[in-house]
Chain A
């Protein structure tokens, strides 16, 4: 499956892409577009884009919506979801303590001189590590 999201990846888009490849479709490919792009006419499935089905809904971030849509009920993923939400939207109530550090790491990853493919590769390794942490 082809997925489309906004370029200059940050934590929610990276965690979502990581979980898509890890739990939904190992062969998934990703396309990154400017935030102003109208993705309706594009071939891929949009995510973390305003108005998309696979995006923020209410207080939930895109990663949490993905878990729900694909019945990914592993409690470790649920815990990871709360950390991602807090790192993505720091103004939320009850942000887990891990979130602010994770946010700093992904702020740096976004601002580093890298391609989005590299951001996804490096960020996915962080997600894998966080998932192990949440599983323990």
Chain B
């Protein structure tokens, strides 16, 4: 890999105003990969080979829907901008961990506990900067597993 100097991947895009399905797909994909929306039509994720790839395929879907998209790996941003992006990723994940934690109550069914595990796994996958709530959510789900209904 010669791209080790990249730190971020920026996606800029524009969709035709008529298209609501691609808009939803785009928004949902960005949410699932843990992207931060910078402005309408611009989002950023930390650089990794995988996130670059996921972003490229999202860009391709936008283009296929009649839109325009650019995928821009960048080396570094201003320190305060990087801090802001990290804080926003962490804050979004804290909120998701907190939701999982409040759902992890005693007496859940086995299915309910498995759903929490699935949810936890997908939040961890987009927890790019290790939000503190991860440990609390992990403990709460472990406890719910011990205290589940039979």
Contacts and interface: CB of A to CB of B under 8 A. Distances in A.
Interface of A: prevailing SS = loop
Interface stretch (B49-57, B90-98, B137-145): B49-57
A89 interface: yes
A21 interface: no
Given A8-B49, A91-B33, A110-B49, 13 more contacts: A8-B1, A35-B56, A50-B56, A50-B57, A55-B60, A56-B60, A56-B61, A89-B57, A90-B125, A91-B28, A91-B29, A91-B54, A107-B50
Q: Chain A interface residue count: which class?
A: 10 to 19
Interface of B: 1-2, 28-29, 32-33, 49-50, 53-54, 56-57, 59-61, 64, 125
Interface of A: 8, 10, 34-35, 50-51, 55-58, 89-91, 107, 110
Interface centre among B2, B32, B56, B60 (most CB of A within 10 A): B60
* In the A-B complex, the 6 residue pairs with the closest CB atoms: A91-B32, A50-B60, A91-B29, A56-B57, A56-B60, A50-B56
Contacts of B56: 35, 50
